[in-house]
């Protein structure tokens, strides 16, 4: 009798157990998160110039929460400002909460926003999640990297199980460089001759000439 009762209890509890499960979906083309513009290449952007990038999203799935982790080279760039985008609010999620944390010295930022309220169906379409302002610290190159496990969105599924699941989007990084075209590397007596040194001279030409015609 006890075994029979336990069986029915488990059957009755199964929907509840299922509803508490959150699954993860790896890199689906249904959701894309990207740095916009993808390339900032301008030799005029020397310290202490500033520039802005946006983190954009495009989705055919009903997103109700997003998070991205962005990192960069802190020897080249420093973040000095940010502004929350309108993606969820544009989907009539009048109540949202966002959390931002990071380390400007180490060169990373974690930002998330969640729609509050069970009646929000999720947002599809395209929009921008946030605007970031950087100050240029030095001459060189940096990836603006969002390709991280902490970059994902949460989806509401109206046909459970399960009712919510985590999706890792297609992630498109950005890049910044303020290197003068032709500045391949430094002088032989520089600490690291492979790093561009801010001028185009005979050493750059020598590097080019020595590798002319090479293929991978």
| Mean pLDDT on 66-71 | 98
Q: Is the peptide bond before 48 cis (omega within 30 degrees of 0)?
A: yes
Q: What is the CA radius of gyration of the chain?
A: 24
pLDDT, tens digit (0-9, with 9 covering 90-100), for 180-197: 776 666 666 666 666 676
Helix spans in the chain (H): 2-19, 202-211
Residue 16 scores a pLDDT above 50:
no
Q: Tokens 């009903």 label which residue?
A: 62
How far is residue 57's CA from residue 21's CA, in Å, rounded to a whole number? 25
Going by C-alpha positions, the residue among 61, 56, 31, 165 that lies closest to residue 122 is 61
Percentages (nearest 5) of helix, strand, coil residues in the chain? 15, 45, 40
| CATH 3.40.800.10, applies to 24-179 | no
Show me where the domains of the chain are located.
24-179, 180-211
Whether the CB-CB separation of 110 and 67 falls below 8 Å is answered with yes
Residue 129 scores a pLDDT above 80:
yes
Going by C-alpha positions, the residue among 41, 68, 73, 74 that lies closest to residue 55 is 68
pLDDT of residue 91: 58
Going by C-alpha positions, the residue among 151, 133, 142 that lies closest to residue 65 is 151
How far is residue 137's CA from residue 135's CA, in Å, rounded to a whole number? 6
Query: pLDDT band for position 77 (50/70/90)?
Result: very high
pLDDT of residue 96: 87
State percent of the chain over pLDDT 70. 66
Query: pLDDT band for position 121 (50/70/90)?
Result: confident
State percent of the chain over pLDDT 90. 54
Residue 173 scores a pLDDT above 90:
yes
How high is the mean pLDDT of the chain? 81
pLDDT of residue 21: 46
Beta bridge partners of 153: 66, 167
| Mean pLDDT on 107-121 | 88
Higher pLDDT, residue 14 or 213: 213
| Mean pLDDT on 5-26 | 50
How far is residue 35's CA from residue 128's CA, in Å, rounded to a whole number? 10
């Amino acid at each position: 009798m006890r075994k029979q009762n336990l069986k029915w209890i488990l059957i009755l509890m199964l929907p509840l157990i299922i509803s508490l499960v959150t699954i993860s979906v790896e890199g689906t083309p249904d959701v894309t998160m990207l740095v916009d513009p993808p390339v900032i290449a301008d030799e005029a952007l020397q310290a202490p110039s500033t520039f802005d990038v946006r983190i954009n999203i495009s989705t055919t799935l009903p997103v109700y929460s997003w998070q991205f982790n962005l990192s960069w080279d802190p020897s080249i760039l420093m973040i000095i400002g940010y502004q929350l985008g309108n993606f969820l609010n544009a989907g009539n999620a009048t109540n949202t909460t966002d959390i931002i944390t990071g380390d400007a010295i180490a060169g990373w930022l974690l930002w998330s926003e969640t729609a509050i309220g069970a009646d929000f169906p999720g947002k599809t379409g395209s929009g921008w999640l946030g605007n970031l302002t950087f100050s240029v610290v030095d001459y060189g190159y940096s990836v603006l990297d969002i390709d991280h496990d902490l970059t994902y969105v949460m989806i509401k599924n109206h046909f459970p199980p399960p009712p919510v699941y985590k999706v890792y989007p297609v992630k498109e990084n950005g890049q910044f460089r303020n290197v003068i075209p032709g500045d391949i590397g430094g002088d032989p007596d520089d600490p690291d001759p492979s790093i561009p040194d801010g001028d185009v001279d005979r050493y750059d030409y020598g590097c080019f000439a020595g590798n002319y015609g090479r293929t991978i």
